[in-house]
Every structure is written in structure tokens, then in C-alpha cells.
Amino acid sequence: MARALRYLGPLLALLMAASAQAQNLNVQNAWVRATVQGQKATGAFMQITAAAASTLVGVSTPVAGVAEIHEMTMDGDVMRMRPLTKGLELPAGKAVELKPGSYHLMLMDLKLPLQKDTAIPITLTLQDSKGVRTTQDVRVPVLSAAPSGQAEHQHKH
């Protein structure tokens, strides 16, 4: 029994540290754009602040077959969207904005329409500087437009 406890102690400490790190992620102003029947993709947006420097390396949700971290940029008059295959850096204590027209979560191969005034679960996967991965689950409201006080993307034509 004592031998089992000797091994269990470090394991419990590791699990508690991973749990504490996941709780050191602050997600605010999260929302997902509502869809219409037949629409197969939408975006999720939020403000993420990590207590310790880390990288958002993955995202998943049961409502989509594919979920990715994306960046949208304008190249002249052409909108370019690409997945961030190495993830999105989250500097310690600094809010990173995921918003229309910039960084965002892309939910594709939707399994059902996302109706306004509902909420969906999203799991964020983070990796710290030592390579340790943790997850944090968030419930994200489905809205037809950005919450009041948040600007939609605007670009010049």
C-alpha cells in the first residue's frame, strides 16, 4: 500500500497541476454565429486570457465534424482564411481576441443547424511551454450577430 501511495502522490500532483492550469484560462465574450438550414460551417469567437504563456493547439465540439483554429487576412481585395497548424500563441496575462475578420474558431461539417439563443459545448486544448496539454470546456451561446459592444469585422473596399 505504501508503495502504491508513493507512486500515486506524484501522479495526483501532476493531475492537480493540469487541472489548475486549465482553470487559469479565462474565456470572455464567447459566441458562435447562428446558421441556417443546410449551412455547413460557422465561426466561433471569444476573448482568451491565459495566466501562463501557452498555445491554443486544438478545438473540438460535438456539433461539428471538423473544428480548427483559423486566421483570416485580407490580401488586397482577396480574403484569405487558413488554419493555424501550429496553434495560436496566448501570451501570459494578455487577452487574445478571436473575432470576425481575424483569428477565430472554424466549425465545419456541422451536424445540425445552430439556432440563435441556444448554446454549444466547445473544448479548447492548450499546450504549455513544457509541452503539457490541458483542456478546458466552455459553453458558448449561439447568436445571430456579435454581442453588443463588440465590433464586427470591417474592411475597406
State the 10-residue block means of pLDDT for the chain, 157 residues long: 48 40 79 95 97 96 97 86 94 96 96 96 95 95 83 41
This prediction's pTM: 0.79
* Residue 55 is assigned to a structural domain of this protein: yes
* Residue 148 is assigned to a structural domain of this protein: no
* Residue 129 is assigned to a structural domain of this protein: yes
Q: Could you tell me which residues come within 8 angstroms of residue 94 by beta carbon, excluding any fewer than 6 positions away?
A: 49
Tally the domains of the chain: 1
* Residue 152 is assigned to a structural domain of this protein: no
Range of the domain at 75: 2-143
* Residue 153 is assigned to a structural domain of this protein: no
* Residue 99 is assigned to a structural domain of this protein: yes
What's the half-sphere exposure (Cβ side, CA atoms, 13 Å) at 52? Answer: 16
Can you give the CATH number for the domain in which 123 is found? 2.60.40.1890
Closest C-alpha among 6, 149, 122 to residue 64: 122
Using CA atoms, how far apart are residues 18 and 6, in angstroms rounded to an integer? 19
Q: Contact 85/93 with Cβ under 8 angstroms?
A: no
